[in-house]
Amino acid sequence: MMEEDVVLELKKIANLMKRTIDQKINIKVTNTQCMILNFIYDNNNRGRVVYQKDIEDFFEIRRSSVCEILNGLEKNGLIKRCSCDSDLRIKEIKLEKEAIDLVFEFREFFNSLTKKIKKNISKQELETFCLVLKKMRENLEGLC
């Protein structure tokens, strides 16, 4: 593979993963919404409160995009935003029961997908790949 093909290959993999996830998960949510629900669930389970800013920072998504995603989740009855006692300008994000069910459904599928992706890849190859991906992300940080 030529070095110029790296971006193209990453895009192809991202497209394949998105298509695969979109075909398997509940049609009520997108794969990005599923990942955000999972993030909220994990943090809540650790006793942490989640705010919009936490999602922006973790996923490196713009404020307007996160706001749109959360509006969709709230419209579908999957989350609720509750006023924070210490600062009325920010809202705590809490999952509704149906969202928790989706998280478990998504996790089961995601674990299966992860096994398929890692098939025939050694632990050392995977570690090297993850290190290279991390370096690529760091190289891109600050460009936008």
CB 33 within 8 A of CB 74: no
131 pLDDT more than 90: yes
pLDDT, residue 42, reads 96
Q: What is the pLDDT of residues 3-26, one digit of tens each?
A: 668 888 888 988 888 888 777 765
Q: Which residues of 30-48 are buried (b: 16+ CB within 10 A; e: fewer)?
A: bbbbbbbbbbbbebbeeee
Q: What DSSP element (H or E) covers 55? A: helix 52-59
Average pLDDT over residues 50-65: 94
pLDDT, residue 26, reads 59
- Give me the helix-helix angle, 97-118 and 31-45, nearest 10°: 110
What is the model's pTM?
Answer: 0.74
Domain ranges of the chain: 5-116
Q: What DSSP element (H or E) covers 108? A: helix 97-118
Span of 5-9, 34-38, 111-115 with lowest mean pLDDT: 5-9
- pLDDT over 90, % of the chain: 53
Give the class (CATH, top level) of 5-116.
mainly alpha
